[in-house]
Structure 1
Amino acid sequence: MIEQHMHDPEDPETEPARPSSLDWPYSDAFDDPRTLFETLPDGYYETDLHGKLTFVNDSLAQILGYSRDQLTSHWLRDVRRHMLRGPMRELAEAGRRICHTQVASQLDNVAVKRRDGTTRYLQISIALITDLDNRPIGYRGVVRDVTPQHQVEAALNQQVALMAVLRQVDAELNQTLDAELVLKVALNAALVLSHADAGYIALFDGDQLRVARASGPYQQRPVSCEGGIVGRVLRRRCPELVQDAQRDADPRSSLPDTQAQMTLPLAQHDRLIGVLNLETMDADRFTAETFDFVNLLTTRIAAAVANANLYQIAQQRLKELRGLYEQVSALEQLKTEMIRVATHDIRSPLGLIKGYIEILRLELTDMLQEAQVGYVDAIEQSIKRIEQLTTDVLSLERIEMKRGQPTERINLIHVIEHAVSDHRHASRQKAQTLYTELPDDTLTILGDSIDLVEAVGNLLNNAIKYTPEGGRVEVRLRQVHNRALLEVEDTGYGIPADKQAKVFEAFYRVKTDETRRIMGTGLGLYLVKRIVERHGGRVNFKSVIGQGSRFWIELPLVHAEALPQT
């Protein structure tokens, strides 16, 4: 029985049998409940089974922008269809469902166009009207204007969407330091957020502002910083939203059809680096909310562009440094080769000179006067100094050519004994006591025995040279935890406190009244430091002027030896 009353509200020709009027008897306590709904702030309506309005209250008429008579008149059928064009199908489906189930329904956020052309969003309840025999004879319901809530919800959804875009832009900008990609991502994000028809990012190149990335018919030429909205924004360093660009006080926009324009400065750490300019032919697109979000975006754009520029500069500097390094390396190689050749070439004639001097001393000693003997001594001393210098230079070259840590397993005790044996004669010539204190057990390290003998020998050579006759030089070796500790201590002249910071520098010599005439090249301690560091160790010293010096070397052991710890 209910089935026969189903209808299509969009087809007025299909009318089921019904009473001629909706003045039917009600089963509730009111003779006519319409009087109650007249007092409601919400809209109230009644329709026949075809959806034709038969009654509306004043509130609904005000919501829709029509009079009550207009809404219930037959000639407004087309207007009603226009007004409800969007939700008509949804309303028809709700009517059919209610006829089947006789259960009231509700539609939310139904978009309705008012007479003045504006759109309102309504919450519409739909219930079935039945006669005393429970037969459907129409519909009724309450209409509530939820446009404010809808607008708030839409604004919140827009805020969420815009924040999602900002997060996405942040992620994309943080993933690259390529300047071109940064500009592409930044401009695309600005266009999406603002719905602009065109836009560009211009960056300063010296004193000129040039378009770096554009979307639209812009020319790749310098942008004027003097006039127009762009010039004004740059002068004031303040973003602007111009809703009517054609009527601006200085309407020099980039495109002729521009109706609205937003221009925002790009600044990083109070330094102006460029400008973001967006334009549209539809002024309604640029709202205050959109402008605020684009303004947030400019902070990210400025930081990303600045970082990309710094990276680009750093890459250029790195390229230049690599080029310089290659040049310096080539010069260093050339210098090393020249020193090596010169040193070898010097040693040959030096040996010849030394041989002739020895012959002169043997054959002409009785014939030489005291002054002439002094000349020969001076020549011999100079020859010794040149020999020592060439030896040190060749040692330095040999050490510099070596790469990586040495891997030879050696007994450090044998190294010490070798070095002490080489210098014992020099110590005896100065009537010095050369004392050694070595452990009984083996101290094994990974090292280069030739280099280590030279390092220990340089420490002994210095101790003997800078200790007066009759002095004492001590060499001690012991284990401290998992390291070998070698100490060379003397009772020599000592090193002044103000000169101690440079003792390990190449070619540096400490000159005092007592040491001024002592020969040296200034490379001995420098070589010691280089050798020890190559072995993964460290060297240091303490010295008191007039009391002597103590130098010590720490080297890592291959494994901890079972010795008493000190």
Structure 2
Amino acid sequence: ATNSHIFLYDEETEQFTFGSALWQDGRREPAVKTLRPSGKGITATIVNQAKPVVINDAPNHPFYQSKTARQWHVSAIAGFPLKYGDHVIGAFTIAFKQPHTFSQDELLLLNLLAEQAAVAVRNAELFADSQRRLQDMSALVDMAKQVTGNLKLQDVLQTTVQILRGLMKARASAITMLSDQGDELVVKAAVGVDAAYMNARMKLEETISGQVVQSSDLIYIRDTYSDPAFLFFDERVRSLLVVPLIVRDEAIGTLTIDSDQPNAFSESDMQLMTIAAAQVGVALQNARLFEKLEARAEELALAYEEIKESDRLKDELVQNVSHELRTPLTFVKGYVDLLMDGGQGLLTAEQQEYLQIVSDKTDEITRIIEDIITLQRIDAGNLALEPVAMAELLQTAVTNHRLVANDRGLSIVADIPAGTAGMVMIDKSRMNQVLDNLIGNAMKFSPNGGTITVTMREQENGVGVIISDEGIGMSKEKYKRIFERFYQIDGSARRRFGGTGIGLAIVKRIIDAHNGDIWVESKVNEGSSFTIMLPKLNSDELVPSV
């Protein structure tokens, strides 16, 4: 034979997709590079009729009467369809320049070769398809990592169109999103198109993308030139594939790719785009949620800063007012003491009583001011830390308060295991302030005959102190608030003394400055237990450095 040709054919697009040849001199180029399925030649006839064509006298056959065909000098030619099942996937021809008549044996042999070639071609196509699917899946995984790992909405959109353009070998790729009103689509990201189209708005009823959103189904236009209803936004677009972006079962936009070639995308491409759109839908939902959370976090951060500034201004006001009040109170106290001492003449018993009331109330106001100033000053940098045996400190505190407790009909006891010291690094003066406050509160809220217990327990890394009473107690919802400034839990008749609600705030501030913790456990009408936990000093920390 002078030459043989093989051409592959796509029934779906009705196009020849590949051509190859083998000549006697070794050439591989086919005689015709581009075949037309609608043509009148032998190859088109073979695929259209799906049966062999045998021509023993080509110079006199209608297929070879054109000027171009005569130049081939074909004398005899036979062609066979490459069939796989009921589908024609190509055509195989063999030609002779010298006169030749095909025998039955030759035709049987050539028909057998065509069948074997069809199987080989189909296997090669399946292998190529599987390889492409593997590559596509790998590309989708990579895209998913890049897209779903990004929480910025615009970055998600732009990354998607850039990846898909390369993956699908498209001329351009774009994403449109529904407007807030839901009656328009807005181009949110694009690559390969004129920058003027960015943020362009389109009515749903006027565009292919609008149809996709309304139906929630993809649309593939294989050849825009053959669709008289197609509205061109760019004349270079020959094929267009649009898939919906769906979030929570609702189409919120579209994912689009196009090509300057007709029939550019396959069934596999449509599946790939559908999967990609699903991934992008999840990424969009995540990005939107993140942006909402981010905006909320910014709002909360701003509100927190405003609260901090308000708190700072309040503290500053309280501090300034306290300082301003202290000076005139000193004068009031001084002049009252002067009058009471008789420096301005003798006083009657009634006058002495009234002045004593003024003096006592002045002392109370002064103590309140000192508490407020103390509250502002306490922090870790203002502590005079030293190793202290907590057991000794507690015993001293119980002894100092026993006389007052007895006068009020109360008992105060210490529960400290023998032989335990409970070494801690503390500011002794500040810790005495804590104990005085907690024991004082316990006495204030305890009924006549009640018992106040001061307990110490050593743990592996801490020293715990518990001050318990049998007083009025409190409900759980008040546990945290009692450490707030100016908060008071009760005004019942059982309270023996007034208060400003500053004492426990000072206690907590001191314990926090020692890197400790304090909490309360209580039941209404059964009493309260305040627990302090302080870091324990190890034995090696007690050895003085050389």
Query: Would the TM-score normalized by the shorter structure come out above 0.5?
Result: yes
Partner residue in 1 for 2:394: 416
Q: In 2, distance between residues paired with 1:526 and 1:374?
A: 34
Partner residue in 1 for 2:202: 224
Within a 5 Å distance, the mapping from 1:199-210 to structure 2 comes to 199-204=173-178, 206-207=180-181, 209-210=185-186
Long gaps (5+) in structure 1: 1-7, 11-46, 52-60, 84-110, 123-139, 562-566
Match status 1:171 vs 2:149:
no
Question: How many Å apart are 1:459 and its aligned residue?
Answer: 0.6
Match of 1:391 among 370, 391, 408: 370
CA 1:80–1:468: 2 relative to 1, 3 Å: farther
CA contact (8 A) 1:385 1:520 kept: no
- Give the SS at the match of 1:302: helix
Q: In 1, distance between residues paired with 2:381 and 2:180?
A: 46
Partner residue in 2 for 1:539: 519
Question: How many Å apart are 1:175 and its aligned residue?
Answer: 4.6
Question: How many Å apart are 1:412 and its aligned residue?
Answer: 1.6
Question: How many Å apart are 1:544 and its aligned residue?
Answer: 5.2
State the one-letter code of the partner of 2:197: Q
- Give the SS at the match of 1:485: strand
Q: In 1, distance between residues paired with 2:486 and 2:322?
A: 16
State the one-letter code of the partner of 2:193: G
CA contact (8 A) 1:507 1:522 kept: yes
Q: In 1, distance between residues paired with 2:386 and 2:59?
A: 108
CA 1:352–1:532: 2 relative to 1, 3 Å: same
Match status 1:151 vs 2:128:
no
Match status 1:198 vs 2:172:
yes
Match of 1:236 among 203, 215, 220: 215
Q: In 2, distance between residues paired with 1:418 and 1:544?
A: 30
CA contact (8 A) 1:483 1:554 kept: yes
- Give the SS at the match of 1:503: helix
CA 1:195–1:543: 2 relative to 1, 3 Å: closer
Match status 1:367 vs 2:345:
no
CA 1:321–1:407: 2 relative to 1, 3 Å: farther
**Structure 1 moving runs of 4+ over 6 Å:** 47-51, 61-64, 70-73, 403-407
CA 1:224–1:544: 2 relative to 1, 3 Å: closer
Partner residue in 2 for 1:528: 507
Q: In 1, distance between residues paired with 2:238 and 2:140?
A: 26
Partner residue in 1 for 2:188: 212
Match of 1:274 among 244, 249, 253: 253
Q: CA RMSD in A?
A: 4.5
Q: In 2, distance between residues paired with 1:334 and 1:185?
A: 47
State the one-letter code of the partner of 1:510: I
Question: How many Å apart are 1:285 and its aligned residue?
Answer: 0.9
Q: TM-score, normalised by structure 2?
A: 0.69
Question: How many Å apart are 1:441 and its aligned residue?
Answer: 3.7
CA 1:176–1:552: 2 relative to 1, 3 Å: closer
Partner residue in 2 for 1:350: 329
Partner residue in 2 for 1:284: 263
CA 1:516–1:232: 2 relative to 1, 3 Å: same
Q: In 2, distance between residues paired with 1:149 and 1:468?
A: 96
CA 1:303–1:407: 2 relative to 1, 3 Å: farther
Question: How many Å apart are 1:342 and its aligned residue?
Answer: 2.0
CA contact (8 A) 1:177 1:307 kept: yes
- Give the SS at the match of 1:199: strand
Q: In 2, distance between residues paired with 1:498 and 1:319?
A: 32
CA 1:257–1:474: 2 relative to 1, 3 Å: closer
* Alpha-carbon displacement from aligned partner over 1:418-477 (angstroms, at most 9, x marks no partner): 544664564355364443344444211233334322221211111222335665433232
CA 1:397–1:49: 2 relative to 1, 3 Å: closer
- Give the SS at the match of 1:284: coil
State the one-letter code of the partner of 1:332: D
Partner residue in 1 for 2:161: 187
Q: In 1, distance between residues paired with 2:155 and 2:392?
A: 64
Question: How many Å apart are 1:410 and its aligned residue?
Answer: 3.0
State the one-letter code of the partner of 1:251: F
Question: How many Å apart are 1:165 and its aligned residue?
Answer: 1.7
Question: How many Å apart are 1:225 and its aligned residue?
Answer: 3.2
Q: In 2, distance between residues paired with 1:250 and 1:383?
A: 94
CA contact (8 A) 1:490 1:548 kept: yes
Long gaps (5+) in structure 2: 4-21, 27-45, 61-68, 94-108, 541-546
State the one-letter code of the partner of 2:272: F
Q: In 2, distance between residues paired with 1:560 and 1:454?
A: 27
Partner residue in 2 for 1:105: none
Q: In 1, distance between residues paired with 2:274 and 2:173?
A: 14
* Alpha-carbon displacement from aligned partner over 1:510-532 (angstroms, at most 9, x marks no partner): 32432356211112223333433
CA contact (8 A) 2:245 2:278 kept: yes
**Identity score, percent:** 21
* Alpha-carbon displacement from aligned partner over 1:1-20 (angstroms, at most 9, x marks no partner): xxxxxxx989xxxxxxxxxx
